[in-house]
Structure 1
Amino acid sequence: MSNNDTNKRPAARKPVVLMSMGTQERKGHAYQVMTHKYITPLAEIAGCVPVLAPSCCGVDDIDQYLSMVDGVYLTGAGSNIDPALYGQKNKTPSKGQDKERDLFDIPLIRAALKRGLPLFAICRGMQEINVALGGTIHQKAYEVPGLNDHREDSNDPVAVQYADSHTVQALPGSWFAELMGDAAFPVNSLHGQALDQLGEGVEALAHAEDGLVEAIHLPGVEQFTLAVQWHPEWQAAQNPHSVKIFKAFGDACREYAAQRD
């Protein structure tokens, strides 16, 4: 062994973050999937190690999953949450659902909160948190009087779909406004559904120009909690606000890991 080898210190353990996958059918086969755009900023900006959990295997192993990780990250998806989970009939039957993910993520959220794990969520994940805590969803936010149409045009190129669409106003004086460093900042917008009645303990951190809730947290719990309706994962490294969000989550996971060691 050379002197250089003996002087090397072992690399610091990175925090491990659980990501639940979704169900997708391809040519008659059921797949569990996760989009690269969600994984890469977690690894490259937050500095965490992703662990992908299949939602198709049920909930029996949730506690074991959570015992191995330092944070939970709930992503967006093309599917809607089953409205029966918040006491409504389905008003968008043509839109795909992923009931396996619904039935996995809702108990996952509740268990993660009990464990004190840092929690970060995007788009569908934000809506899952609200439903898990007893809140409801605007199934057709674009038909709600006073709200704008926050959907993307599926005929546009992907880069256009994910381009900045409107401004978000952070809650003045909040830790989120301080983190972002701006009272208002531009975000993309690719969702037909949105938060309606907020769940127990859920508090808005930011709103769109039309008043729609764009970010939430749970001020009654000690751990880091943040969920946003837009997509900060899109080209995150080129967006200073996205970088701040992923770094803050990564730092929270590192703090949790350090306390556990």
Structure 2
Amino acid sequence: MTRPIIGIIGNATLINDTYQTQAAGIMNTEAVAQVSGGLPLIVPADPACASVPELLEACDGFLFTGGRPNVHPEEYGEAETPAHGAFDRNRDAVTLPLIRALVERGQPFFGICRGFQEVNVAMGGSLHPEIRDLPGRENHRMPPDGTVEEKFALRHKVTVSEGGPFHRLFGATEVMTNTLHGQGINRAGRRIVIDGHAPDGTPEATYVEGALGFTLSVQWHPEYRAAEDPVSRPLFEAFGEAARAWARGRQPLRMSA
């Protein structure tokens, strides 16, 4: 059969500080093509370009990528402050209703970093604007200097629930991951199960309780060397399997506990 079409949510980007684009990282497109076995399709995160119903019909699954702008705090009932950073309201307008529709349909999606946070907000949760400012928390942000390898290096453990979906994929309850984020989950959204934590208690892995399809999301960046990393590879493989199941007959492949 033909490969399932995976919509990769793009990010608004300026080339040479002048030319506006919608872009997705090559790490994401290669992970989808080479590990998930899907056909990557970059989706412009702009409601003027595509509606949620159109996207649901066009794609078999969706990858909600990381991105520098944050979900606007008004989406979870809080006022904007300088600590919340930059925003992309167009992306919010596409991803949040799309996630809710995907949960309802049982259509597969995989959330990464900002995508992890979007899933929580879409389901009614809230975010901390800056994890490192919380008592007892570590700095989870990307190192400001160094090579790509140094920025994406494994930096802390994540412990997942025994017998849960992440444990079943990893074959272990403790794994090593990178970390490149400033914000994180404050209040978990409706049906959001926090299934993995960093050593400082920061939520790192979630799924939607009772969802019919694949709804796994992680706060780290598994797209980096996804084909080689023993933690990343099973995530993208399982996501691809779920997308193929949907493409065959629009049947959800359940991954929750």
TM-score normalised by the chain length of structure 1: 0.91
Q: Say whether residues 1:169 and 2:159 are aligned partners.
A: yes
Alpha-carbon distance in structure 2 between the residues aligned to 1:240 and 1:68: 31
Separation in 1, partners of 2:22, 2:214: 28
> Is residue 2:94 matched to residue 1:95?
no
Q: Displacement, 1:176? A: 1.3
1:221-241 Cα distance to aligned partner (Å, 9 max, x none): 111110000000011112011
Whether contact under 8 Å (1:169, 1:185) holds in the other structure is yes
Q: CA deviation at 1:173?
A: 1.6
- Is the contact between residue 83 and residue 130 of structure 2 (CA under 8 Å) also seen in structure 1? no
Residue aligning to 2:107: 117
Instruction: Provide the rounded CA distance (Å) in 2 between the counterparts of 1:187 and 1:226.
Output: 16
Alpha-carbon distance between aligned partners in 2 of 1:203 and 1:129, rounded to the nearest angstrom? 11
For residues 116-195 of structure 1, what are the structure 2 equivalents within 5 Å? 116-195=106-185
Q: In the alignment, is the contact (CA less than 8 A) between 1:151 and 1:189 conserved in 2?
A: yes
Q: Does 1:206 align with 2:186?
A: no
Name the aligned partner's letter for residue 105 of structure 1.
T
Superposition map of 1:1-261 within 5 A: 12-26=1-15, 27-58=17-48, 61-92=51-82, 95-260=85-250
* Alpha-carbon distance, 1:64 to partner: 1.5
Cα pair 1:18 1:66 within 8 Å, conserved: no
Cα displacement string for residues 177-228 of structure 1 (whole angstroms, at most 9, x for unaligned residues): 1210112011001111001100001001111111111000012111111000
1:92–1:139 Cα contact (<8 Å) kept: no
Matched residues in 2 for 1:60 and 1:152: separation? 32
Give SS of 2:146's match.
Answer: coil
Distance 1:116 1:241 in 2: 24
* 1:65-97 C-alpha deviation (Å, 9 max, x unpaired): 211221111000111111111122233368322
Task: Please say which of residues 14-23 and 214-223 is displaced more in the overlay.
Answer: 14-23
- Unpaired runs of 5+ residues, structure 1, are 1-11
Report the CA distance shift for 1:152/1:240 in structure 2 as closer, same or farther (over 3 A). same
Q: Distance in 2 between matches of 1:56 and 1:184?
A: 38
Tell me the number of residue pairs that the alignment of Structure 1 and Structure 2 aligns: 250
With normalisation by structure 2, the TM-score equals 0.92
Partner of 1:25, secondary structure, is strand
User: What do the CA deviations read for 1:128-158 (whole angstroms, capped 9, x no partner)?
Assistant: 0111111000101101112111112211222
Change (3 A) 1:28 1:49: same
